[in-house]
Amino acid sequence: MSEILYVKAMESGERIDALLARYIEPLTRSQAQRLIERGAVTLGGEPVRKNRRSAAGEIYRVELPEPAEIPLTAQDIPLDVVYEDADVIVVNKPRGMVVHPAPGHPDGTLVNALIFHCGESLSGIGGERRPGIVHRIDKDTSGLIISAKNDFAHLALSAQLADHSLARVYECVVRGRMREDAGTVDAPVARHPADRKRMAVVPGGRRAVTHWEVLARYNGWTHLRCRLETGRTHQIRVHMAHIGHPLLGDGVYGRSPEKGLAGQCLHARELEFVHPRSGEPVRLVTELPEYFRDVLARLGPEE
């Protein structure tokens, strides 16, 4: 697996190991240095030294080792199943649960629980580590997530995700008192240019659109409903921070902890899709989880 690094004018003179660590996720600087020492980083086909200073316009090729396979095991983890049939399963994911195994989270994930619950009846389109997974939500985001039990359903649901007919509605609490009752954030999202672990509003990024409306106002906080027109990584979190109203508890794009909550106050409350086999519309709505209700109670009376 290889990556290409293009050096911009503003990056000229920086050490190549530092650039690699900044732009290639999830490399650390020491890992980048080891790759350089092994001859895995080349310029014009020739290996480079780890103390090399970059120059504008240079193009580096980086040969990355294949990630170690994480064996998937079935784990008897309780699931809050909201809807299930022979084609799809919709789960109300608790905050704190990771969706699929990854470095640092080899098990205890939604995928491990789904394998136990569904047996071998999960779509293989998501790959070995993500069987059945059609879309994802963050570890500290709670709420509805849909998975496919076969490839037919997975392809149909992925098409709905691509054409925005698979509707996802979230509720969140943001910092500050929103003046307008509703609005839209239409701002492109991509990897942060200086921090590859974060997303940001970046010119030339992928189009991202979030429609929001006020549900309640509190002293210094606003309870919102957000409907995704697109589904970029961290989209609601990035968009709300971009307009000056980061999510309560979001330590990446705002402040944490707040109101006793470490992790964003964000819940995927509604999900609507066309059933891949019957063609009938399916609309699912969950109650707000206990942590979310506790936050609202601590915010005080509505204004």
Cα–Cα distance for residue pair 178/218, rounded to 1 Å: 10
Q: Which residues of 204-228 are buried (b: 16+ CB within 10 A; e: fewer)?
A: ebeebbbebebeebbeebbbbbbbb
φ and ψ at 40, to 5 degrees? -85, -5
Q: Which residues contact 166 (CB under 8 A, 6 or more apart)?
A: 135, 146, 157, 160, 271, 272, 273
Residue 131's CB: how many other CB atoms inside 10 A? 23
Tell me if 100 sits within 8 A of 86, measured CB to CB: no
Q: What is the DSSP string of 247-267?
A: BTT-TTTS-SSBTTB-S--EE
Q: What is the DSSP string of 97-120?
A: --SS-BTTB-SSSHHHHHHHHHTT
Is 186 assigned a catalytic role? no
Identify the active-site residue in 87, 138, 140, 250: 138
Cis peptide before 301 (omega within 30 of 0): no
Q: What is the DSSP string of 153-203?
A: HHHHHHHHHHTT-SEEEEEEEEES--SSSEEEEE--EEE-SS-TTSEEE-T
* Residue among 240, 193, 189 nearest 212 (CA): 240
Report, as residue numbers or ranges, the catalytic residues. 138
